[in-house]
A and B are shown apart, each in its own frame.
With several copies, the nearest count.
Chain A
Amino acid sequence: MTEAFQPNLDFTAVEQIDAGEAFVVDLDGYEGPLHVLLALARTQKVDLLKLSITRLAEQYLAFVHEARRRNFSLAADYLVMASWLAYLKSRLLLPRTEKAKGDEPPAEQMAAALAFRLQKLEAMRTAVEAITSRPQLKRDVFTRGDPQATLIVPSDRIDASLYDLMSAYVTQRRREQARHYNPGQRIEAFGLEAARDWLREVLPRLSDWTPLDRVAPERDATGDGPTQASYLASTLSASLELVKEGAMDVRQDQPFEDVWLKRRGLGQALELTP
């Protein structure tokens, strides 16, 4: 019954007691009342189902008494079991005519249940023996000492199409471009002041309706300076200012059509455009 390796005494009560002090009772390896009862029942050498609970109770009480006599402090489990067994024994011995009170099951049934429970524990103890007597790995049987590891050969096939290759290339070139993006020079614009001056300069010649793109300055042939769009936009803006000043009229027949400009003569009535 002695165990070379028993780190856990399964007693909640024991765990709270200083080691080496009172409860050193391994009680011959009994871990709890059920274990004691089972051991006692075995000494009766009868089928657990035919167990005499009264005899068992007597023996258990004697066991507990003996343990206490030897000045062992017993765990609560043992004492509760002792009183319960004493009670059960008394009920079993009392005449049966008396009706059981309340919901309490008949004493015989309680006794049978206890016997069955012991049988169950006994079965598990037998099972432990049966299992541990089997050939155990690395004690009785041994597997290959030097197994050959399986060589994993990665698949030779690659999942990549020409399209993947092309798009991988384009993506990178685009990224490269974005990386090298340089906000660069400010875009040169045809200033509003310059546009107004320019318009005042050409105004005398605008006696007839003239399209805006012919009024605006031509872009420098070298390609330097403001873009043509800038010339157009600024000239239009300046023309609207001149209209406000009453110096000229602006007309557009349809959306997206040409914009026409014309000088307004002195004293000439404002010409309403449709």
Chain B
Amino acid sequence: MTLDFKPDEIEMARRVEALLFAATGPLSLVEIARRLPEGADVAAAITDLQTQYAGRGVELECVADRWRFRTAPDLGFLMTEEREEPRRLSKAALETLAIIAYHQPVTRAEIESVRGVSISRGTLDLLLEMGFVRLRGRRRTPGRPVTYATADRFLEHFGLASIHDLPGAAEMKAAGLLDLSLPTGFEVPDPSRGMDADDEDPIEDGDTPEFAQDFVGD
């Protein structure tokens, strides 16, 4: 199958090009040479290809003495696909966020006591990851549970200047959310009240691993 004539340099570059393209990983000069006629100058072919590909959308790159093609670094943004559709928060996430917003600082157990169901680990993780919620401190109660509060992105997203501007019972009534079936003793807590809660310790930097534990321990 191999050709009888000694392939010239262009042919050699073609072969190296094809080999590197089809390879499932980076190839060393030795690995390439093994598939070429004896005495082939692989290094020259590589240099040749590198020149040919310089500045193009695809470039030849050397990693740990092995060669591979990869797309030009400045075009990396093309390989990411941003979803245009805004994400809808799940009902659970929105409800959890609402409780944290109105009752902050609030522990997971407290959130669950209002919701009546346990929160899945993913829900809090998602809110943390989105920057809507932050870990605020540790309640000075047995077990020292972590407390949650809203983060800046929450205010930004809902267009609130401060947490004081979170609509209270009056606004809820005006929006038709509170009606005659209003439970007696229904109160919307003032979220700014907890801002200087003195029943908790600040989160320390070294605390982070414990949070993870807290999640896992869910």
Direct contact of A and B (CB under 8 A): yes
Compute how far the CA of A260 lies from the CA of B68 in the bound complex, rounded to whole angstroms.
Answer: 98
Counting CB contacts under 8 A, is A148 at the interface? yes
Compute how far the CA of A160 lies from the CA of B120 in the bound complex, rounded to whole angstroms.
Answer: 20
A32 and chain B: residue at smallest CB distance: B117
Chain A 32-44 near chain B by CB (<8 Å), digits 1 or 0: 1111000000000
Compute how far the CA of A138 lies from the CA of B87 in the bound complex, rounded to whole angstroms.
Answer: 11
Counting CB contacts under 8 A, is B178 at the interface? yes
Counting CB contacts under 8 A, is A11 at the interface? yes
Given A8-B122, A123-B177, A143-B70: A131 in contact with B167 (beta carbons within 8 A): yes
CB distance from A177 to the nearest CB of B (A): 4
Enumerate chain B residues within 8 angstroms of A170, measured Cβ to Cβ: 172, 177-178
Report yes or no: B22 in contact with A131, Cβ–Cβ below 8 A: no
Compute how far the CA of A33 lies from the CA of B116 in the bound complex, rounded to whole angstroms.
Answer: 7
Compute how far the CA of A105 lies from the CA of B80 in the bound complex, rounded to whole angstroms.
Answer: 58
Report yes or no: A29 in contact with B91, Cβ–Cβ below 8 A: yes
Counting CB contacts under 8 A, is A171 at the interface? yes
Report yes or no: A131 in contact with B114, Cβ–Cβ below 8 A: no
Given A148-B22, A169-B99, A172-B95: A154 in contact with B87 (beta carbons within 8 A): yes
Enumerate chain B residues within 8 angstroms of A272, measured Cβ to Cβ: none
Enumerate chain B residues within 8 angstroms of A138, measured Cβ to Cβ: 82-84, 86
Counting CB contacts under 8 A, is A183 at the interface? no
Q: In chain B, residues 55-72, which have Cβ atoms closer than 8 Å to a Cβ of chain A? A: 61, 68-72
CB distance from A255 to the nearest CB of B (A): 26
Compute how far the CA of A126 lies from the CA of B73 in the bound complex, rounded to whole angstroms.
Answer: 21
Report yes or no: A146 in contact with B79, Cβ–Cβ below 8 A: no
Chain B 121-160 near chain A by CB (<8 Å), digits 1 or 0: 0110010001010000000000000000000000011111
Counting CB contacts under 8 A, is B200 at the interface? no
Given A31-B91, A116-B186: A80 in contact with B191 (beta carbons within 8 A): yes
Q: In chain A, residues 109-124, which have Cβ atoms closer than 8 Å to a Cβ of chain B? A: 109-110, 112-114, 116-117, 119-121, 123-124
Given A140-B73, A143-B22: A127 in contact with B172 (beta carbons within 8 A): yes
A123 and chain B: residue at smallest CB distance: B177
Report yes or no: B118 in contact with A121, Cβ–Cβ below 8 A: no
Counting CB contacts under 8 A, is A69 at the interface? no
Compute how far the CA of A240 lies from the CA of B190 in the bound complex, rounded to whole angstroms.
Answer: 54
CB distance from A2 to the nearest CB of B (A): 10
Enumerate chain A residues within 8 angstroms of B181, measured Cβ to Cβ: 174
CB distance from B161 to the nearest CB of A (A): 12
Compute how far the CA of A159 lies from the CA of B85 in the bound complex, rounded to whole angstroms.
Answer: 9
Compute how far the CA of A127 lies from the CA of B165 in the bound complex, rounded to whole angstroms.
Answer: 12
Counting CB contacts under 8 A, is A182 at the interface? no
Counting CB contacts under 8 A, is B175 at the interface? yes
Counting CB contacts under 8 A, is A137 at the interface? yes
Report yes or no: B22 in contact with A9, Cβ–Cβ below 8 A: no
Enumerate chain A residues within 8 angstroms of B117, measured Cβ to Cβ: 10-11, 31-32, 34-35, 77
Enumerate chain B residues within 8 angstroms of A142, measured Cβ to Cβ: 18, 21-22, 70-71, 76, 79, 82-83
Report yes or no: B192 in contact with A6, Cβ–Cβ below 8 A: no
CB distance from A207 to the nearest CB of B (A): 44
Given A131-B101, A153-B82, A157-B86: A32 in contact with B115 (beta carbons within 8 A): yes
CB distance from A151 to the nearest CB of B (A): 4
Enumerate chain A residues within 8 angstroms of B76, measured Cβ to Cβ: 135, 139-142
- Which B residues fall within an 8 A CB radius of A? 18, 21-25, 61, 68-73, 76, 79-95, 97-99, 101-102, 113-120, 122-123, 126, 130, 132, 156-160, 166-168, 171-172, 175, 177-178, 181-192
- Please list the 9 inter-chain residue pairs (A to B) with the smallest Cβ-Cβ separation, ordered nearest first: A34-B116, A105-B185, A32-B117, A135-B73, A177-B183, A130-B167, A169-B98, A157-B86, A140-B76
Besides A80-B191, A166-B98, 11 new A-B residue pairs in contact (Cβ under 8 A), listed by A number: A8-B122, A32-B115, A34-B117, A105-B185, A113-B186, A127-B101, A139-B83, A149-B24, A153-B82, A155-B82, A176-B115
Contacts A/B (CB < 8 Å), 26 sampled: A8-B123, A10-B118, A31-B92, A76-B192, A77-B192, A114-B186, A117-B182, A123-B168, A123-B172, A124-B114, A131-B166, A132-B94, A136-B157, A136-B159, A139-B76, A148-B21, A148-B70, A152-B80, A152-B81, A157-B87, A158-B130, A162-B159, A168-B91, A169-B95, A169-B172, A170-B177
